[in-house]
């Protein structure tokens, strides 16, 4: 699981076993003693990576953020934190296979549905971020999504966007290298991690999990209750609500499909 090293929260809530940061000075003290950069900072209850940033370093007066000018601690608290709760996490580095395209953490979105026959994963989507971005969400300029073969991890499509238009690529648009037909590393281990974690939350009939692939294997980044239909549709070029998916939602009590 993606490791949390500190929580920024000016409220009364405590976090047993995890450092709690309540002031700009406390953040400075923590970051100037941080054992390793970069660190990833995101809203505790945020969506779509809004507000996410990568902390690349810190000194006595400023925080250094990817793609931004250094910012003093008081301004970081005022402009970014406010009354929200932020998590500071260890940065998850891509496997060298993905590092060739981007240093920003890429994840595989696994779409999970629990049926009377067990776990069904109809879609696996690689979210491949541009090197310039802090996160892999498709709304960020330059980010890509790729349909994967759910059994083998083979890359079947590469889809980006130009304004409102979706663009299908034959090669990676930033590097020009071929990607179609390649298989992601550690795929069997990723499938095993997905199945094990999904089983822990089997009471949630429909969920999505975002899993990074590091040199040492897969790392669970996030588990979502439900999940957008958009990514599978964008990556595959097909509608999400197939007869099988509609039957699944009806089986768990949905009246609208």
Query: Domain holding 173: CATH number?
Result: 3.30.470.20
In a domain, 257, yes or no: no
When pLDDT is cut at 50, 70 and 90, the band that residue 1 belongs to is low
For residue 42, what are the domain limits? 4-90
CB 144 within 8 A of CB 124: no
69, 121: one domain: no
- Where is mean pLDDT largest: 25-29, 42-46, 83-87? 25-29
- Give the pLDDT confidence score for residue 227 in this predicted structure: 87
- Give the pLDDT confidence score for residue 115 in this predicted structure: 95
Q: What is the pLDDT of residues 193-217, one digit of tens each?
A: 999 999 999 999 999 999 999 999 9
Asked whether the predicted pLDDT for residue 48 surpasses 80, the reply is: no
45, 123: one domain: no
29, 74: one domain: yes
- Give the pLDDT confidence score for residue 47 in this predicted structure: 76
Asked whether the predicted pLDDT for residue 5 surpasses 80, the reply is: yes
115, 185: one domain: yes
Asked whether the predicted pLDDT for residue 49 surpasses 90, the reply is: no
- Distance from C-alpha of 217 to C-alpha of 213, rounded to nearest angstrom: 6
Q: How many CB atoms are closer than 10 A to CB 255?
A: 6
- Give the pLDDT confidence score for residue 257 in this predicted structure: 74
Query: Which of 52, 72, 90 delimits the end of a domain?
Result: 90
Q: Residue 122: which of 218, 248, 223, 225 has the closest Cα?
A: 248
118, 189: one domain: yes
- Distance from C-alpha of 102 to C-alpha of 111, rounded to nearest angstrom: 24
CA 254 to chain centre: 28
Report the pLDDT averaged over residues 125-147. 95
Query: Which of 57, 90, 123 delimits the end of a domain?
Result: 90
- Give the pLDDT confidence score for residue 80 in this predicted structure: 87
Report the pLDDT averaged over residues 152-175. 95
Q: Give the count of domains, the chain.
A: 2
User: Dihedral, CA atoms, 99, 100, 101, 103, nearest 10 degrees?
Assistant: 30
CB 90 within 8 A of CB 39: yes
- Give the pLDDT confidence score for residue 216 in this predicted structure: 97
pTM confidence score: 0.91
**In the chain, alpha helices (H):** 24-31, 73-76, 96-99, 187-200, 230-236, 243-251
- Give the pLDDT confidence score for residue 226 in this predicted structure: 87
Q: Any idea how long the chain is?
A: 257
- Distance from C-alpha of 26 to C-alpha of 74, rounded to nearest angstrom: 11
Query: Rounded mean pLDDT of the chain?
Result: 94
């Amino acid at each position: 699981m993606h490791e949390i090293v500190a929580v920024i929260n000016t409220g009364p809530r405590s976090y047993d076993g995890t450092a709690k940061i309540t002031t700009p000075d406390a953040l400075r003290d923590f970051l100037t003693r941080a054992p390793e950069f970069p660190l990833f900072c995101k809203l505790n209850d945020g969506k779509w990576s809004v507000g996410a940033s990568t902390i690349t370093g810190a000194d006595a007066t400023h925080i250094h953020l990817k793609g931004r000018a250094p910012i003093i601690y008081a301004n970081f608290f005022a402009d970014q934190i406010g009354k929200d709760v932020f998590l500071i996490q260890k940065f998850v580095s891509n496997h060298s296979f993905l590092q060739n395209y981007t240093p920003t953490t890429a994840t595989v979105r696994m779409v999970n549905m629990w049926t009377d026959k067990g776990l069904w994963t109809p879609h696996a989507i690689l979210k491949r971020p541009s090197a310039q971005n802090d996160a892999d969400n498709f709304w960020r300029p330059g980010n890509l999504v790729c349909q994967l073969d759910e059994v083998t991890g083979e890359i079947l499509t590469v889809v980006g966007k130009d304004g409102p238009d979706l663009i299908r690529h034959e090669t990676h648009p930033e590097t020009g290298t071929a990607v179609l037909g390649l298989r992601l590393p550690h795929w069997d281990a990723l499938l095993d991690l997905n199945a094990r974690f999904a089983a822990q939350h089997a009471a949630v009939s429909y969920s999505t999990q975002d899993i990074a692939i590091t040199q040492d294997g897969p790392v669970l980044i996030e588990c979502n209750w439900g999940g957008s239909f958009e990514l599978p549709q964008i990556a595959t070029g097909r509608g999400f609500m197939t007869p099988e998916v509609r039957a699944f939602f009806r089986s768990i009590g949905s009246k609208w499909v």
